[in-house]
Amino acid sequence: MLEIKNLRARVGNKEILKGIDLAVKTGEVHAVMGPNGSGKSTLAGVLAGRAEYEVIEGSVTYNGHDLLALEPEERAREGIFLAFQYPVEIPGVNNAYFLKAALNAVRKHRGEPELDAMEFMALIRGKMKLLDMDQALMSRPINEGFSGGEKKRNEIFQMAVLEPTLAILDETDSGLDIDALKVVANGVNALRSPERSAIVVTHYQRLLNYIVPDYVHVLSEGRIVRSGGKELALELEDKGYGWIETALERA
C-alpha cells in the first residue's frame, strides 16, 4: 500500500528526515516510536502533504501513485488521513458543516453519490456514539473551546466518518487520560480491517497496549534505527530511548 524509499526532508536548511525506508502493506498497523525531535511528526506531515517540509530525496508510493506529487486534498481523497497532533481551531466553521463538505469531497472522488443533510446526520450518529462525542460539539466551530481530549476524539471521529485506507495518527495519545485513551483506541480498532492500514506515531508505549501494532519502528535523528514486532515497544518502555542511542553509539 505504502512504500517509502530513502526519504529525506528538511525544514528551511535543517534536514530532519535523513533517509527513511518503510513499507506498509494492506491491513498492517505500524507503530513509529522515538524520542522528541527524532522526526516522527515530520514523517507524518510529509505523508499528509504539509507545505513547510521540503522533500530533497527519495520517493513515496501509495497504491501505485507518486504520493509526493499530490496536493494534500488529493491525498485525503485517495484515502490518507492524518490525525493531527495539534488539531486546529477554526472559528466560524461548524464541525458538522466541515465534516459534511469533507465527506462529500471524498465520496465524489470515489464516484459515490454525495450525502444530503439527513443522510449525513444518520451516518454520523453511530460514529458519535463510538467516540462518545457530545452531539452539541457538532454545531460548534471546529475544535473551538474543545478540551484537549475532545479535540483528539474529534480527530478520530472524523477518521471514523471518512473511513480512510491509510490512517496516520500523530501522537494522538499525548495529553489523554486513560479513559479518553481507551475511547480513542476503540475508535481506531473499530476501523481496523484487512483493507486498511495505519501508522501510529507515538512517544510512549502506552497507546500500543490498546492499539496493538504488527510492527514497531524506532526513529532516531531522522533514521529508522530499529524495527521489530510489538515486543520492541515493551522493550523500549522498559529501557527507555537511551538504550537505543547507546546501542547505536557502540555499533
Residues that bind another protein (CB under 8 A): 48-51, 71-73, 75-77, 81-82, 84, 87-88, 90-93, 97-103, 105-106, 109, 141-142, 158, 162
Note the residue count of the chain: 251
Query: Minimum distance between the CB of residue 88 and another protein, rounded to whole angstroms?
Result: 4
**Residue 94 or 227 having the CB closest to another protein:** 94
What is the 3-class SS of 120-187, one letter each residue? HHHHHHHHHHHCCCCHHHHHCEECCCCCHHHHHHHHHHHHHHHCCCEEEEECCCCCCCHHHHHHHHHH
**Residue 95 or 220 having the CB closest to another protein:** 95
Listing DSSP states for 19-81 in one string gives EEEEEE-TT-EEEEE--TTSSHHHHHHHHHT-TT-EEEEEEEEETTEEGGGS-HHHHHHTTEE
Rounded distance between C-alpha atoms, residue 176 and residue 153, angstroms: 10
Query: Minimum distance between the CB of residue 48 and another protein, rounded to whole angstroms?
Result: 5
**Residue 66 or 71 having the CB closest to another protein:** 71
Q: What angle do CA 106, 121, 73 make, to 5 degrees?
A: 20
Query: Minimum distance between the CB of residue 184 and another protein, rounded to whole angstroms?
Result: 18
Cell of 179: 479513559
Residue 235 to residues 33, 51, 200, Cα–Cα distance (Å) = 12, 35, 17
**Residue 115 or 234 having the CB closest to another protein:** 115
Query: Minimum distance between the CB of residue 104 and another protein, rounded to whole angstroms?
Result: 9
Query: Minimum distance between the CB of residue 246 and another protein, rounded to whole angstroms?
Result: 37
Q: How far apart are the first and last CA of the chain?
A: 33
**Residue 97 or 210 having the CB closest to another protein:** 97
**Residue 44 or 218 having the CB closest to another protein:** 44
Rounded distance between C-alpha atoms, residue 62 and residue 178, angstroms: 34
Query: Half-sphere exposure of residue 35, counting CA atoms within 13 Å on the CB side?
Result: 10
Query: Minimum distance between the CB of residue 12 and another protein, rounded to whole angstroms?
Result: 15
Q: State the chain's maximal CA–CA distance in angstroms.
A: 62
Query: Minimum distance between the CB of residue 81 and another protein, rounded to whole angstroms?
Result: 8
**Residue 87 or 222 having the CB closest to another protein:** 87
